[in-house]
Chains A and B, each alone.
Chain A
Amino acid sequence: MKQVFKKTTMLTDKPFTYCPGCTHGIIHRLVAEVLEELGIGQDTIGVAPVGCAVMCYEFFNCDMHVSAHGRAPAIATGIKRVYPDKIVFTYQGDGDLASIGTAETIHVAARGENLTTIFINNAIYGMTGGQMAPTTLMEQKTTTSPTGRSESLGGNPIKMSEILATIDGVCYVERTSVHNPQHIIATKKAIKKAFQNQIDNKGYSIVEVLSNCPTNWGMSPQQSLVWMEENMIPVYPLGVKKEVK
């Protein structure tokens, strides 16, 4: 029988450690498929964040670094400066990229490092049990905003893609979502572009992917996808925020 579908070679056979219904897994697969389809897997070095995706160093079938919390862009800079011809990417959550690692995020962009970042915005700290993230929505309940995020106590959600789009040196910023198949396909396209830009030496590219956390949102996977569409996208509008052709 003719084989019509097989798992991408850029994922190892290790079973994912993510909760049932978590979209980290879908995004892993998209990144891995892109690496394979662009034929760059053998030349790739990735950087895992601290967050639920810390274990991704066991899942991506390429050389990996495991970062300190928020420091992936600095580590990726170190790698890329040693191997300017290799493909280097970071995979980071919102606490990692938009809170503890904000300085690293802004400056990797300002330096225009020829890197690719996949930014998972799930509006919460997944790994540590559902605390408020910089991206948590107003009124959203978390374990450290138990009555809902208020401006006076918790400040406001940070829109990282919009911020990064203002920075010279950034080549490409797009925000996508993985709440349904149509958007998953669009996310893959964006991820592919972000890696193609690196192949073409165009500078810093980042795809912010709206993702879920059914476990800490206290929802079924199904409900969480609806919540993403109804609540996250209005605050975090999808689309290309910057593209240098």
Chain B
Amino acid sequence: MKKELIKGNIAIAEAAIAAGCQCFFGYPITPQNEIPEYMSLKMPQLGRTFVQSESEVSAINMVYGAAGSGARVMTSSSGPGMSLKQEGISFLAGAELPCVIVNVMRGGPGLGGIQPAQADYYQSVKGGGHGDYHLVVYAPSTVQEAVELTQKAFHTADKYRIPVVVLADGVLGQMMEPATITVPKEEPLPEKTWATTSIGNSSRKPNIANSLYLDPYKLEKHIQHLAKKFDVITENEIMVEYNDIENAEIVVVAYGTTARIVRSAMNTLKKEGINIGLVRPITLSPFPTDEINQACKNANSVLVVEMSLGQMIDDVKIAINGEKPVNFYGRQGGVIPKASDVVDEIKKLRGVI
């Protein structure tokens, strides 16, 4: 596998194909259009399925049908399209159907804009659809990582029977970077004995892809089963990256594109002798609560940087549990914070400016 200069969206599409994605259903919306466009050419050439659905509502329900039938399936969208998918995502979570949902985030609310943002954190991590459920959410910060996490997303989805979100943003989707499209080596997965393959010659009972439990006691049991499963995921699947946290007076928590900006701010500050650490959650759900608390143990304060009004900060505050100040710096609406802005913010926090 050789390294190539590749656009984030195309890399995600190629990664999915390499991971054995059999079906892609989607509807155009900027800034993720390259994903369905690429799929529309490549999937039929490979004898796989591409359908441009009539809406994101339909796309996510096509995902439900294909996932329930046992196929590896993906959809991608952004902004208003992600909002339309939420009903379907709730049904997928309820019916425990594995699938991969890529959100290349843009600015909102409403039609908002088409520039990069991180304003869908709540929607992805806290629910978005109705009911008691959790998704797994991966947040890549480079094109290479987008490749690897997209592929991992398929595996995690199949391993736990859960919808998995790859939460990228417009920068990652549109940016070109050198990356290698890996072919994932996967551990053996449980057989999809629950899939609606039709009964055929077997003697099994009908398989039902379903999220309906009219008896509240049965629904409660089902929800608790989903919660227990998520506990196992929390136990096993948390991913987090640390940079220079050992002697940091301030630890910054940032994910995705924002973490890269913070890293270049850190380099500037280091030259001035200011030690800043970075904790980058790679799984936003499950959230690295204990990991963040530990990483910030020796810091005086914590700074959360996001391209939003501050959404992940709620989870960071839970992690820090009142032990020290948790500050925020963010830009909204598709405005990308500059490294120099982050430098200034950190200096302000240290009382130097």
Chain B residues numbered 193-212 whose CB sits less than 8 Å from any CB in chain A: 196-201, 206-212
Tell yes or no: A75 within 8 A of B by CB: yes
Nearest chain B CB to A87 CB, angstrom units? 8
The winner among B54, B58, B198 for most chain A CB atoms within 10 A is: B198
Docked Cα-Cα span, A87 to B91, in Å, equals 23
**When A57-B208, A82-B22 are in contact, do A75 and B200 touch as well, CB less than 8 Å?**
no
Stretch at the interface among A64-72, A184-192, A221-229: A64-72
Tell yes or no: B63 within 8 A of A by CB: yes
Nearest chain B CB to A46 CB, angstrom units? 9
Contact A74 B196 (CB under 8 A): no
Q: How many residues of A contact B (CB 8 A)?
A: 36
Contact A77 B51 (CB under 8 A): yes
**When A63-B196, A63-B197, A103-B54 are in contact, do A79 and B208 touch as well, CB less than 8 Å?**
no
Residue of B nearest to A111 (CB): B51
Contact B199 A63 (CB under 8 A): yes
A67 surroundings in chain B (CB, below 8 A): 61, 64
Residue interface mask A216-242, B partner, CB < 8 A = 1: 000000000000000000000000000
Contact B208 A63 (CB under 8 A): yes
Contact A63 B212 (CB under 8 A): no
Nearest chain A CB to B63 CB, angstrom units? 6
Contact B198 A54 (CB under 8 A): no
Residue of B nearest to A66 (CB): B210
Tell yes or no: B88 within 8 A of A by CB: yes
Contact A75 B206 (CB under 8 A): no
A83 surroundings in chain B (CB, below 8 A): 69, 197-198
Contact B88 A71 (CB under 8 A): yes
Docked Cα-Cα span, A87 to B62, in Å, equals 16
**When A57-B208, A66-B211 are in contact, do A78 and B62 touch as well, CB less than 8 Å?**
yes
Residue of B nearest to A71 (CB): B61
Q: Give the top 7 A-B pairs by smallest Cβ distance, nearest first.
A: A78-B65, A74-B61, A63-B196, A75-B65, A78-B66, A78-B62, A71-B61
A-B contact pairs, 27 of them (CB 8 A): A42-B199, A45-B198, A57-B210, A60-B206, A62-B198, A62-B206, A63-B198, A63-B199, A64-B207, A65-B68, A66-B210, A68-B64, A74-B64, A74-B65, A77-B51, A77-B58, A78-B23, A78-B65, A79-B66, A82-B23, A82-B49, A82-B70, A83-B69, A86-B197, A104-B54, A104-B57, A104-B61
Question: Which residues does A use to contact B, with CB under 8 Å?
Answer: 12, 41-45, 47, 54, 57, 60-68, 71, 74-83, 86-87, 103-104, 106-107, 111
